[in-house]
Amino acid sequence: MENTNKSNNPLTILLASPRGFCAGVDRAVEIVKKSIKKFGTPVYVRHEIVHNKHVVKELEKIGTIFVGELDEIKDKTRPVIFSAHGVSKEVVKNAQLQNLTFIDATCPLVSKVHREAEMLNKQGYHIYLIGHENHPEVIGTMGQLDDGSIDLIQTKKDVYNIVLPNNEQKFAYITQTTLSVDDTAEIIKEIKTKIPNIKGPIKEDICYATTNRQNVVKAIAKKCDLFLVIGSENSSNSQRLVEVAKKSGCTNSFLMHENADLPIDKILTCKQLGLSSGASAPEILVENVIVQINKVRGTKVEEISTVEENVSFKLPRDLQ
């Protein structure tokens, strides 16, 4: 049966810009490709290089083997790449003990947080890290220092439960780079109330790409009755975009991960659809979703831009 919506009632898609790959993801993916070009195949990667199944599968096709831990590497003569999320010092030490050739694809903005943690620790600060438990970036950041040097704060409730020592001690906070800007601001407000003299980062730790993508989603979501974010389920920044869209007025906001079905019933009835993608989602996935929507309903795409990004990060010297 022909869909009358397709010809008579085109759907306006408000396409967020910026969206998709950030400079850190671009760099990490390029590191894998350049490593294969330099060293041949296979090249190992510890954990997903970035949190996107499509990217992982495409890199597997050209000779990348993804492993959970270094012990799973069968051929110790082959290079291993550390993911964009960063690793603990223990992982680096293990790689050295096993005489592995390793290449660090940690996003420079995550490395910045690592250096902050080390500097604050040397200056005698006890550190609170605002972030999500078990996220690779958080594990890597906490793993820069000895156990007990950093406490994890996930919610405002965690702030209320902080028990301060009786002795005089200096306190500082740092954050994961892919958090909700607004939620993090609320936690920081609470932690400053609890510990008025707490030291914060000179420049905020939430990265430019996370902030920019959330800002454009805020601008669009209030105009939409359906919002789709393309990204993997384990992608923190993609999950945060869905939350931001909901808080900004579009309660019908969904993550379009690899196994998600297009919400066709909602697409057929909505007036304006917002569309964005997480910082680890390639543009081809956005294009594919628009093609799928076009199969059930005609579309008119309007790109909404709030800022132009021109950030890039250099590759490691050995791969330049």
> For 234-287, how does the pLDDT look when each residue is reduced to its tens digit (9 = 90+)?
999 999 999 999 999 999 999 999 999 999 999 999 999 999 999 999 999 999
Cα 80 to the center of its chain, rounded Å = 21
Write down the pLDDT at residue 4. 43
Write down the pLDDT at residue 8. 60
In sequence order, the β-bridge partners of residue 276 are 229
Q: What class is the 23-107 domain?
A: alpha beta
Residue spans of the domains in the chain: they are: 4-22+208-305, 23-107, 109-206
Of 164 and 110, the one with more pLDDT? 110
Q: What class is the 4-22+208-305 domain?
A: alpha beta
pLDDT grade for 169, boundaries at 50, 70 and 90? confident
Give the chain's mean pLDDT.
95
Q: Is domain 109-206 given the CATH code 3.40.50.1820 in the classification?
A: no
Write down the pLDDT at residue 162. 94
The Cα 269–Cα 11 span in angstroms is 9
The answer to whether 170 touches 126, Cβ cutoff 8 Å, is yes
pLDDT grade for 166, boundaries at 50, 70 and 90? confident
Tens-place pLDDT, residues 175-226: 999 999 999 999 999 999 999 999 999 999 999 999 999 999 999 999 999 9
The Cα 273–Cα 296 span in angstroms is 14
- Please, what is the angle between helix 108-122 and helix 23-39, to 10°? 100
List, by residue number, the catalytic residues. 137
44 φ, ψ (degrees, to nearest 5)? -90, 150
316 Cβ contact list (under 8 Å, min separation 6) = 31, 103, 104
Helix (H) or strand (E) holding 300: strand 299-305
Tens-place pLDDT, residues 112-154: 999 999 999 999 999 999 999 999 999 999 999 999 999 999 9
- Please, what is the angle between helix 236-247 and helix 208-221, to 10°? 30
Q: Do domains 4-22+208-305 and 23-107 have the same CATH topology?
A: no
The answer to whether 177 touches 205, Cβ cutoff 8 Å, is yes
Report pTM.
Answer: 0.94
